[in-house]
Amino acid sequence: MLRVDAGDPCTYCDGMSRRSFVQLGVAGMASLGLPGLLQARQQSAKARDTRVILIWLDGGPSHMDLYDLKPEAPAEYRGFWHPMKTNVAGMQISELFPRQAKVADKFSIVRSLYHDNGDHFAGAHVMLTGRWGATGSDTTGRSPGIGSIVARTAGARTSGMPAYVAVPYGSSVGLRPGYFGANYIGQHFDPFETDGDPNSKDFQVRNLKLPGGLTIDRMGDRRSLQKSFDTLRKDVDISHTFDAMDHFEKQAYELVTSAEVRKAFDLSSEDEKLRERYGRHNWGQSTLLARRLAEAGVTFTTVHYGGWDHHWDLKAGMENLLPKVDAAVGTLFEDLAARGLWEKTLVVLCGEFSRTPRMNDGSGRGTPGRDHWGNSMFCLLGGGGVKGGVVVGSTDAKGEAPIERPITPQDIHATIYHALGIDPSIAFLNHQGRPVAAIDGGTPIRELL
C-alpha cells in the first residue's frame, strides 16, 4: 500500500480531515489520477492560508558566530564576538544582531540541526529537498525542492499570483535553480525568478514588461490565435512539451496583464523610511520584496543571501554580512507583526551546512576562517503558527555536535509542511513512474507547535 496522506487526524475549518485520503493502493492512485489527488490535497492545504519566506544563506553560515556562540570555549573555537541578551530570557545571539535581539520573541532557534555532511552540494540538496542525492562529484538534482512541492500542492494563496517566487533568483551552490527546482514534478513548478537587484533604482522584474510595440489587446489576440492550434499540436505531443509551454505562456500572460501582480512586485511604492530599515542593499530590498509577495498571496518565496564560504577572513566577512542580515531579518519580523502577517507567514533562515567550530589558521590567505561542517548547524524559524522565543536543542561545549534534541533537515521540512497544512507523505511520480513521498522521514518539531 502507498500511504499518501497519514498525518494529524484533525480537521480544518472547511471540515476536511487530513485523513481524507489515508491509504491508496497503487492501482487506486491510478484510478483516481494524480491530478485529482493533488486537487484534493490543494483544497486541504489552502485551508490554513500560511505563506513561507525562506532566506537561504548560500555557502554555509557558522552557527558559532550567529546563533550558538560559545563564550566559554577555547579562543580558537569561540571566535571574535560575544553573545548578546535578547528580549527572551535565556536566549542569546551574536552581538552583531542587535535588531533581532529586540524581536527574539517572534522567532525560535534550532541549535541541534545536523546532517553530518561537509559537501556543499550534498548539504544543499538535503536541506532544500529533504532527500540525499547530489554530491560534489555529481551535482545533478535528484528530487524536487520544497518550494516546488508547495507550489504544486497548494498553489498560490491569491488567484493570479505566482505560487513560488525566488528573489532575485533561486540558486544553490551556483546551480540555478539547482535544488530549488521542481525536478520530476514538472519544470513549470520551478520558481519564478525576479532577476536583477531590488535595490537598484531602475529595478524591474523580468517578464512583467510587455515587449516594445505589444499591447495587452494584441497579446490577447495572439493568445486567441494560438489556442486555435491547441487541438492539433496536442494530438502529436507525445512528450507533453506543449503542456509545459501552455503553462509558461499562461503564466506570462497573467503576470503581464495583472495589475495586482505588478503592484506586488513594485518596491517603489514602499515608504523610504521602511526601505532604509530593511537596508538599502540587495539583501534588504529582496527581503522587503518577499514580504510584499507574501502579503499579496505568493505561497512560497525564497531570498538568496550569498557569500558565506569563509575559509579565511572570517572576521571581516562576518562584520560585513551580519549587520545586513540583522537589518533585514529584524525588520522583517517587525514589519510582519505590524501588518498582522506574522501569524500566517513562516520565516525560515538557514544554509546548506555550518562551519567548523575550531577555526583554522587562514589557509595562508589572511585571518582565520572556518571550514565545512555539517555535524552541528542552526535553523531560525518564526511566524506562521510556529512559536517564538524557543531554543530547541543544544550542542556540546565546543559546538561540535548536538547533545540534546538532535534535529534533521527532514524535521525542518516536516515543520514547514505542518505550518502550511500539507501532509509530507503526499507522493509524486518520479521519472521512473514510481510514487515518492515529499520527504524521507522527519516529524514536525513539537516544541515549536
Residue 226 pLDDT greater than 90, yes or no: no
Residue 210 pLDDT greater than 60, yes or no: no
Q: Which residue, 377, 372, 338, 428, is CA-closest to 114? A: 377
State the pLDDT confidence band at 15, using cuts at 50, 70 and 90: very low
State the pLDDT confidence band at 237, using cuts at 50, 70 and 90: low
Question: Which single residue is written with the C-alpha cell 495589475?
Answer: 259
Cα atoms in the Cβ-side hemisphere of radius 13 Å centred on 317? 22
On whether the CB atoms of residues 428 and 421 are closer than 8 A, the answer is no
Q: 34 vs 274, which has greater pLDDT?
A: 274
Q: Which helix (H) or strand (E) holds 304?
A: strand 300-306
State the Cα–Cα distance between residues 196 and 208, nearest whole angstrom: 13
Residue 217 pLDDT greater than 70, yes or no: no
Q: Which residue, 130, 156, 159, 161, is CA-closest to 143? A: 130
Question: Percent of the chain having pLDDT more than 90?
Answer: 74
Q: For the chain, list the domains and their CATH numbers.
A: 49-205+271-421 (3.40.720.10), 206-264 (no CATH)
Of 241-245, 294-298, 376-380, 387-391, the range with the lowest mean pLDDT is 241-245
